[in-house]
A and B are shown apart, each in its own frame.
Chain A
């Protein structure tokens, strides 16, 4: 506990140290970011050591006189600390290289915001009263706002930042109101008071929905996702990685904390809301990711998809827990936590990959990339690991969590509620669809950036990332592989969380260390290590046999391409082209504007703009209403002193009337 605090304080101090030399990048990149990475690593190790230890509490007498900071750590905190520490270690090392050579006006300030952001996320996890939680939450939101608007002279980035700030605050208000409901009349805002409060079911439901709204806004749950594809690409890549990989998980942490700890045990019917929204979000995000042409925006949409999967799992866990199927609730919750951990590593890895590409080429439009595998082999192969993981392919980590989630869906027909037991298994179909589209998205992402020929001539001069960038990505990729190959050990750790939350009893010890059996051996098992070893063995054996019986001679020649002689890089599929089938199949999701050439055009132009239908149908009218309301309020501003005096006088009279 005190180690956590010390490490978080170290982050804050490192940030402040950046201000010593605010305009020189050398101090921050040579010393502060690597130190920050070490702090992250220490945080992850502390979390690992802490796992399973009894709950600790601490009261810090800082802040307002009567409102000390209450802090608490339990297994849920440990898990998210592990996630924060592990992801940030890789990202910070990468950042050391990335920020040293990226022109930035005030590198010291960036360093301060970056480390404050990290420390604030850690504080969110430790907070044990509404006051300190909201302070940490706001510091996190503001620090990330400033990080998003690093390039604040670009108008789009400015407006993206503003949208982010707006939705973050609407969400924060909902969370605050949720805490207000949860204190249940005791007017004590510590989490302990909320745990003890006895809420009537309707009020508990209101609190849950408020929390879901607030945290869902932070996580990017559809329809509160609109800020995410704008804000994540706007930030520098290491920051995008932190926001997508870690910050979205703090929202998940909030949902879990509120629903399983503060309000717990939740009612089964509440679970249907995150379940339905999550399923919709998963498909919606995946479909939109498939049609993006900007590589970072594509990843942002893919984050939305993964948030959908996470919330689906949360909903499932609540339903299972509510009807008393505790083992399955635990399984679903473990799947969620596993996926959170996976997504933190793999999405960070992918965002860092785009950062390295952006750095090496100065280009983020998929239509102008291509063929970088040959120019940037390190970045490409490491990104491939991330891409295969997030596509949910065995034996990497993305598959494990998807497998666990599908296994828990498989038992959903046992829920003793009519109709529900028939509808729930269909959720698996939607998750499977989203996962399959994610595979499509990742082939597009990796194939268009790294494979094929250079779509622009200057890509031939692209340089591979520096050693710090490589090392940061290597750490994250190693994490992905390890989480994929050793699921039994990871689950042994994760199972501590549902146990401490009282969702399920302790997990029975695994039958053997290499085989994963969620329910019973005969029902299902998965042993990635053996699986991987066998594939690798066959792979090597085949090469060996081919060379033994035949030969491994190779001759290089021009590509065949069905005999078409004049091959040109522009004949490859563009990003738009690769997304065309999805655009065609899921047409109702999009609002499209197309500009088609006529046969008589001298300079034919084809342009298609794919928009988010929710933006047009939900946010535009909302914006109009707000604008109109603002305009009518503006009528009060007459600009004459006499009028303002009159307002004061009327207010005074009204107050007097109330008081007397």
Chain B
């Protein structure tokens, strides 16, 4: 095989490995920013790695009547998140695997992970598990169509549903202002917060029964299962952030036509974007108050309406 033929596969491998390794780091960075903003002493940046490693070493404790679905769900969720990372362009847009699954399939993939987490939470049959599953699905069924509409708009603009192709065409086109993208960016931000159990909707640092969503799903997990679930959650946050970059800030990404040198330039740019995104996320979380669970549907309905509005604006103005 020639070098030109190997290049995309190399990109693919690098993208997956990067997501896998950088995701806990990104979570660590967000936690650090949150601690600083909350005037607390921050944990070290690599704290998530230590936590994951500790969990892997421990012996797994399963509930007496947990079924095999409960045991294999963490692996399935982890697998879907890695698969998702393989579709999302972070450094370069030439990802061969994205031919196997486009952005709609990506949304389906995220939905699959959500369904498996929820089913696993219902499996032990505790009060909190089913509560978490119900809330997770409630958030999901509103966030999923909103996310799909965000992607829909980007596909309308770039006439493709493959995420790398969308990103490629958004990055290479003449600087054009898309007012519609502004609406969907808001929608996407709301979806990102809700889907990743971030503050207005959920609090990742709480075990308060009345409010928790994501933590309630993981209550019965321990050791390596918990480690995989936590790692998958970190991957999910990283994936969503990279979707956001691909759609709304594709500058600096290594496009299909780019030289190998500019692929190298994509690394510091991505790092910068992630640093800024982490600060932004921590700011939003520090500045906003947690919504009551009853209000979450309104929050997500807003996201859905914003996304639809974005499409309407695009079709009305043609921009």
Contact = CB atoms under 8 A, between A and B. Distances in A.
Interface of A: 370-371, 373-374, 384, 388, 391-394, 399, 403, 406-407, 410, 413, 421-422, 425-426, 428-429, 432-433, 435-437, 439-440, 442-444, 446-448, 451-453, 515, 521-528, 530-531, 534-536, 538-539, 542-543, 546, 549-562, 564, 567, 569, 571-573, 577-578, 580-582, 584-585
Most central of A528, A534, A543, A559 by chain B CB within 10 Å: A559
Interface string B85-116: 01000000000010111101100110110110
Contacts of B141: 433, 436-437, 439-440
6 contacts: A391-B111, A406-B104, A428-B149, A435-B145, A515-B100, A523-B162
B209 A549 contact: no
Judged by DSSP, the binding face of B is helix
The 9 A-B residue pairs with the shortest CB-CB distance, nearest first, are: A452-B125, A573-B130, A432-B145, A453-B125, A447-B122, A559-B63, A571-B127, A527-B100, A561-B126
Given A429-B308, A439-B141, A559-B63, 8 more contacts: A393-B112, A447-B122, A525-B100, A525-B102, A542-B75, A552-B224, A553-B60, A561-B219
A527 B100 CA distance: 4
B16 to A, nearest CB: 9
Contact of B159 (A384, A523, A564): A523
B63 A534 contact: no
A555 B61 contact: yes
Contacts of B159: 523
A117 to B, nearest CB: 34
Contacts of B14: none
B156 A557 contact: no
B105 A403 contact: yes
Contact of B152 (A410, A435, A521, A536): A410
A571 B137 CA distance: 19
A104 to B, nearest CB: 34
B138 A573 contact: no
Contacts of A580: 134
B178 interface: no
A584 B294 contact: yes
Interface of B: 56-57, 59-67, 69, 71-72, 75-76, 78-80, 82-83, 86, 97, 99-102, 104-105, 108-109, 111-112, 114-115, 118-119, 122-131, 133-135, 137-138, 140-142, 144-145, 148-149, 152, 155-156, 159-162, 165, 207, 209, 219-220, 222, 224, 228, 294, 297, 301, 304, 307-308, 311-312, 315-316
Contacts of A543: 75
A542 B224 CA distance: 11
A432 B148 contact: yes
Nearest to A425: B311
B53 to A, nearest CB: 9
A527 B64 contact: no
B120 to A, nearest CB: 9
Contact of B297 (A399, A528, A556, A584): A584
Given A436-B141, A559-B64, A567-B126, A426 B119 contact: no
A525 B165 CA distance: 11
A513 to B, nearest CB: 14
Nearest to B97: A534
Contact of A426 (B65, B114, B308): B308
A523 B160 contact: yes
A553 B61 CA distance: 9
A524 B125 contact: no
Contacts of A391: 111, 115
Contacts of A426: 308, 311-312
A525 B160 CA distance: 10
A585 B62 CA distance: 35
B64 A549 contact: no
A436 B142 contact: yes
B122 A452 contact: yes
A562 B219 contact: yes
A525 B99 contact: yes
Contacts of A407: 104, 161
Contacts of A453: 65, 125
B248 to A, nearest CB: 20
Contact of B224 (A373, A440, A546): A546
A554 B74 CA distance: 15
A490 to B, nearest CB: 17
A413 B316 CA distance: 11
Contacts of B165: 522-523
Contacts of B152: 406, 410, 425, 428-429
